[in-house]
């Protein structure tokens, strides 16, 4: 990534996989910021709209988490 000199990051193009990885790698006190989708209810890939919301993804991985928008 341009402008980042520290190589302490992972690039993952699959949003669901990236969220799962962030959750599994997090430790007590860590903050996970999921940004970029906003309130959209779909993800567009190669011109196709696919139903997708990060709120639903988070419910699947963290059923105890209460997500507020």
* DSSP H or E stretch at residue 53: none
Q: For residue 4, is pLDDT > 70? A: yes
pLDDT of residue 64: 66
DSSP letters for 13-34: S-HHHHHHHHHHH--TT-----
Spatial CA neighbour of 15 closest among 38, 40, 34, 39: 34
Q: What is the pLDDT of residues 44-60, one digit of tens each?
A: 889 999 888 887 788 77
């Amino acid at each position: 990534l341009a402008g980042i000199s520290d190589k302490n990051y992972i690039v993952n193009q699959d949003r669901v996989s990236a969220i799962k990885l962030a959750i599994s790698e997090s430790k007590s006190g860590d903050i996970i910021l999921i940004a970029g989708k906003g309130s959209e209810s779909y993800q567009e890939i190669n011109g196709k709209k696919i139903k997708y919301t990060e709120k639903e993804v988070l419910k699947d991985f963290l059923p105890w988490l209460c997500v507020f928008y």
